[in-house]
Structure 1
Amino acid sequence: MLHSPSRNVGALCLALAAGSAGVPFASLRAGSPAFHPGLPAATENRKLVALTFDDGPKPYVLLGGKSGAGVPSASLLDLLDRQGVKATFFVMGWRLSKNADQQCRRVDGGVPCRQGAEEEHRRGHEIENHTYGHGAFSLMKRRYGEEWILNDIEKGSSVIQSITGAKPRYLRPPDWDIWEDFRQRIESRGYHVMTKSSAVPPALRDVDSEDYFCAGRNLSKCPKPSDYDYVLRTLEQRERHGVYDHILVFHELPQSVELLSRLIPELKKRGYTFVSLKDYMQAEGGTSK
């Protein structure tokens, strides 16, 4: 749900004020001591995009090639290089394990998934945590309890750290499935939990491209507009409500590479600057590494 322009400006000011005061993102709420409505919000003169990807690594998309089923893809990493964009990849930890090699080779074009993540890191992109097993938190809680989920998160961080040398700072729960007291438990461990919740300022909410909706389908028959125009309309709607900074969420899919080959130049033409998630959070006053 989008707020009115006046409420949005206040929410954006909240994020900026907290950054200057050194207040943790977990405490950012309207009415908190960090809320100073007099600070300037993001405007048309400063427009930022943080490009993020979930559910990888998928080497045939990252490096270019064909999936095990013969689906072709252009190289996402080459596209980002050409456009001078640094992205953030929220990876599933199990794909980085040696046990996943055989499945990755079969499904993702003959290359170990870990090699895809290593290439992401080599080219200067951020790698963050999408948990190890990618299980929905609500379901995992019912089956195993919250401690099991916390261990799954840490297991994901461990395999990422084996590639990057640093513990991930950001966590995106699968399908944004999270509840407030558990979010606080996770953030007490040093993570920033990504969210779509209206409880946080609009500029700090994930913007879902919904590119996954038509994965594996004939896009001309897709019942939902998960396409270039849909993403642009979403951003234009946010702009009408005074929000000029966006965290975009995509997936490592062939159609997403094609979409981004058009979207990135178009957003640059409209005055947007692409930044890493770390730099975005610093600009917004959220947490950063």
Structure 2
Amino acid sequence: MGSKQPTVKYLALKAGLLAGLCGALIFLWIGNEWHTPVKAKIKTGEVPVLSHGSEKELLKRDPQGMNWTRTEKVESIRKNTVFLTFDDGPSASTDELLQVLDQHKAPATFFMLEPNMRKHRKEVLKTIQLGHAAGLHGVTHNPDLYYASPESATGEMKTANDTLQKLTGVSTGIVRTPYGSKPNLTEPEQEALLAEGFQYWDWNVDSLDWKHSTPDFVSNVLEQTEKRTKDFPEEPIVILMHDRPVTPEAVDQLIPKLKERGYSFASIQEEMIPVHLQ
């Protein structure tokens, strides 16, 4: 009798075993290459930020196309420089305020509260995207809690800074303590903030905007600014305002009038010498 011919089923099984063996050899040869982590390519000047929902955003530190630059050298901050600063945000009014600042090409500094940053995440991102400076205003805004000890003073700022970094990928050492440093901030609390890398800023022009529901306080800000410039001509002007519904309209009126008087605008940077209440 002749030899038995292999069946089609047998040949198919043999071919499958050979294919599996070849696949295993290929995997051993280049398998490691398949599992090598690949870092995402990010353009210079961009940092990744947290995604919210299905959105994924890249945050540019220095946006192009702006007519002003966010970074100001210390030696260039001289007389007739105005620092617009806004406390207590972000809020539902922040987006409109950012639009006004962008229209006037005026950089500003936002001293933000940690709970409000978590509530208005997109506004925090937009603030940084447009080149404004991020500052910290703590967590509770309760003087009894914030000024309880050096640990509480620094702890609130560290918590706020952690949230800022999680939301934007950037951190800051610029802070403003609730209701200002004088007479609230004790010497041990000052030393603790400095030891943690925080520079606390106050102001030398108080808008008192919290008293008003209309922008009629703008004239008072202009009077204070001119008097401060006359009395201290080499000192920059730091204007205290708040992130409130009336603020966008007030700023829209204020900036052109300050420009008419020869003032320019800058945002606070960490290397600058801070202004403190006297």
Question: So what's the TM-score if we normalise by structure 2?
Answer: 0.64
In the alignment of these two chains, the number of paired residues is 197
Shift of 1:207: 2.3
1:239 aligns with 2:229: yes
Instruction: Show CA shifts across 1:37-87 (max 9, x none).
Output: xxxx95xxx4101111100001x3122xxxxxxxxxxx1111111100111
Task: Check the 8 A contact 2:87/2:137 in 1, yes or no.
Answer: yes
Structure 2 match to 1:81:
102
The letter of the residue matching 1:246 is: I
| Consecutive unaligned residues in structure 1, runs of 5 or more | 1-18, 21-40, 64-74, 102-112, 196-204, 220-224
Whole-Å separation in 2 of the counterparts to 1:62 and 1:234: 25
Tell me, in whole angstroms, the C-alpha distance in 1 between the residues paired with 2:253 and 2:146.
Answer: 38
Instruction: Mark the CA change 1:141 to 1:54 in structure 2 (over 3 Å): closer, same or farther.
Output: closer
8 Å contact 2:80–2:229 — kept in the other structure? Answer: no
Contact 1:209–1:226 (8 Å) recurs in 2: no
Deviation at 1:163, TM superposition (A): 2.7
1:104-161 superposed Cα distances (whole Å, 9 cap, x missing partner): xxxxxxxxx111111111212111110122221x44444xx43233222210110011
| CA distance in structure 1 between the aligned counterparts of 2:101 and 2:147, rounded to whole angstroms | 37
3-state SS in 2 of match to 1:278: coil
Amino acid at match of 1:61: S
* Structure label with greater radius of gyration: 2
Match of 2:133 in 1: 126
Match of 2:94 among 23, 42, 62: 62
- Partner of 2:264: helix, strand, or coil? strand
CA shift, 1:164, in A, is 3.2
Unmatched 5+ stretches in structure 2? 1-73
Contact kept, 8 Å, 1:51 with 1:247, in 2: the verdict is yes
How many Å separate the matches in 2 of 1:141 and 1:193? 14
Distance in structure 2 (CA, Å) of the matches to 1:132 and 1:49: 27
| Residue type of the alignment partner of 1:54 | D
In the aligned structure 2, how far is the partner of 1:246 from the partner of 1:154? 27
Contact 1:62/1:77 (CA < 8 Å) preserved in 2? Answer: yes
Cα deviation, residue 180, structure 1: 2.5
Identity %: 26
CA contact (8 A) 1:51 1:277 kept: no
Cα distance in 1 for residues equivalent to 2:173 and 2:145: 24
* Structure ranking higher in helix proportion: 1
Q: Distance in 1 between matches of 2:128 and 2:232?
A: 34
| Partners of 2:87 and 2:111 within 8 A in 1 | yes
Inter-partner Cα distance in structure 1 for 2:218 and 2:82: 16
Structure 1 206/131 Cα, relative in aligned 2: closer, same or farther at 3 Å? Answer: farther
Quote the Cα distance in structure 1 between the aligned partners of 2:142 and 2:160. Answer: 12
Summarize the alignment of residues 139-178 of structure 1 with structure 2, pairs less than 5 Å apart. Answer: 139-142=145-148, 145-176=149-180, 177-178=184-185
CA separation in 1, counterparts of 2:191 and 2:205? 22
- C-alpha distance in 2 between matches for 1:161 and 1:206: 29
SS in 1 for 2:106: coil
**1 or 2 for the larger relative contact order (CA 8 Å, sep ≥6)?**
1
Q: Deviations over 1:230-275 (max 9, x none)?
A: 1011112112213352011111122222111111001111111101
**SS of residue in 2 equivalent to 1:227:** helix
Q: Provide the residue aligned with 2:197 in structure 1.
A: 190
Whole-angstrom distance in 2 between the partners of 1:141 and 1:80: 33
Distance 1:277 1:126, change over 3 A: same
For 1:210-289, what aligned pairs fall within 5 Å after superposition? Answer: 210-214=208-212, 217=213, 219=214, 227-243=217-233, 245-278=236-269, 282=272, 285-286=273-274
Going from structure 1 to structure 2, the CA distance change for 1:50 and 1:140 (only over 3 Å counts) comes to closer
Instruction: Give how far 1:95 is off.
Output: 1.7
Quote the RMSD (CA, aligned, Å): 2.5
Q: Which residue type is aligned with residue 266 of structure 1?
A: K
Work out the CA distance in 2 between the residues paired with 1:241 and 1:141.
Answer: 32
Q: What secondary structure, in the 3-state scheme, does the structure 2 residue paired with 1:95 have?
A: helix
